[in-house]
């Protein structure tokens, strides 16, 4: 059984709801982040300097080759200083 009334093909009972949803989607703002200049400076400080990187590389090479010697007295002294604080 088919019932056709006047202007039946253009009738959408959810039209207002769909329009409201599309308006809400337009109003929603995307998240944004801003990093302050001070935070950027702190990030720069965290980067490893070339001098430090070369020093670490030298130590790695010495450990790999077996020529790295640990000064036991110096290590013990530093441990005592650390734990006595």
pLDDT digits (tens, 9 = 90+) for 24-47: 776 666 778 888 999 888 888 777
Q: CA angle at residue 59 from 69 to 82, to 5 degrees?
A: 70
Read off the tokens for 33. 């982040």
**CA atoms of 82 and 85, how far apart (whole Å):** 6
Instruction: Indicate the pTM of the whole model.
Output: 0.38
Average pLDDT, the chain: 82
- Measured between alpha carbons, how far is 76 from 74 in angstroms, rounded to an integer? 5
Radius of gyration of the chain (CA): 35
């Amino acid at each position: 059984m088919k019932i056709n009334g006047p202007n039946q093909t253009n009738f959408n009972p959810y039209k207002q709801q769909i329009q409201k949803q599309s308006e809400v989607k337009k109003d929603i703002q995307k998240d944004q982040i801003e990093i302050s200049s001070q935070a950027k400076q702190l990030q720069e400080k965290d980067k490893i300097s070339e001098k430090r990187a070369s020093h670490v590389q030298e130590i790695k090479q010495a450990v790999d080759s077996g020529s790295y010697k640990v000064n036991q007295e110096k290590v013990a002294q530093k441990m005592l200083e650390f734990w006595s604080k």
